[in-house]
Amino acid sequence: MRKAEFDRAEVLRKAMLAFQKKGYARTSMKDLVAATGLHPGSLYCAFENKRGILLAAVEQYQADRAAQFEACIQGRDPLGGLRAYLDSVVSECACCDPNGACLVAKAINELAEQDEEVQARLSDIMTDLEVAVHDLFVRACEASPEPVEPDARLRARFFMMGIYGLRTYGHTHPGRDVLQALADELFRAVTRGLSGTEGLT
């Protein structure tokens, strides 16, 4: 036996960056070879083919992103956590370097209706984050004495929708202030009627 010599997560992060920069179709194997430092044969041995590299990179992306989300909500109340995560997304969008683009959003826009398995995997990842967001909204809603409208599920969906919209919108407007104002508005909309936010305009 023999173990692979490279660090899988590290290689996949480099591949991630390549895909984020150029998208899936435009990123050639040559690009991936250059980005990862591995030779074609090694890449094929480890990931089957180009599509396999994307799937693995997407998997790694989810892990990294889940950790980022966890870091945002650590030690904060539910709404504070969401606010922190939202601000981190704004920061990503505002600095217009290509690494700020969300691999999942980019890939699903590029590959929707083309590759069922990839699309399903991307949908799952988006849903995982939505579930985590949903949990926070459930907790926030429970803090209220009476049932609130809309329910936590719709709030979570709206929050996710807003984030994806923010990302696309960010491609056209480099101004951080505009994105921040939109994020503020999103947060306001999504926390409407929740305890701790009554006094806000």
Partner DNA sequence: CTTTATCTTGATCAAACATTCAAATACATC
Partner DNA sequence: GATGTATTTGAATGTTTGATCAAGATAAAG
Which residues bind to its own copies, rule: CB under 8 A?
A: 21-23, 25-26, 96-98, 101, 105-106, 108-114, 119, 122-123, 126-127, 149-150, 154, 157-158, 160-169, 171-173, 178, 181-182, 185-186, 189, 192, 201
CB of 75 to its own copies, least distance (A): 29
Q: Which amino acid is at 44?
A: Y
Q: Determine the Cα–Cα distance for residues 155 and 189; give it in Å rounded to an integer.
A: 9
Applying CB under 7 A, which part among 22-30, 94-102, 141-149, 187-195 lies near DNA?
22-30
Binding to DNA (CB under 7 A): which residues in 24-43? 27-31, 38-42
Smaller CB separation from its own copies, 38 or 108: 108
- Which member of 49, 68, 114, 127 binds DNA (CB under 7 A)? 49
Q: Determine the Cα–Cα distance for residues 122 and 141; give it in Å rounded to an integer.
A: 28
Q: Does 6 bind DNA (CB under 7 A)?
A: yes
In eight-state DSSP terms, residue 40 is H
Name which of its own copies, DNA, none residue 173 binds, using a CB cut-off of 5 to 8 Å depending on partner kind. Answer: its own copies
Q: Which residues contact 117 (CB under 8 A, 6 or more apart)?
A: 55
Cβ pair 72, 88 in contact under 8 A: yes
CB of 1 to DNA, least distance (A): 4
Tokens 């996949």 locate to: 12
The footprint of DNA on this chain (CB under 7 A) covers a number of residues equal to: 22
Residue closest to 36 by CA, chosen among 65, 62, 60 = 60
Cβ pair 36, 11 in contact under 8 A: yes
Name which of DNA, its own copies, none residue 171 binds, using a CB cut-off of 5 to 8 Å depending on partner kind. Answer: its own copies
In eight-state DSSP terms, residue 28 is -
CB of 54 to DNA, least distance (A): 10
Cβ pair 71, 77 in contact under 8 A: no
Tokens 């892990």 locate to: 63
CB of 189 to its own copies, least distance (A): 4
Binding site for DNA (CB under 7 A): 1-6, 27-31, 38-42, 44-46, 49-51
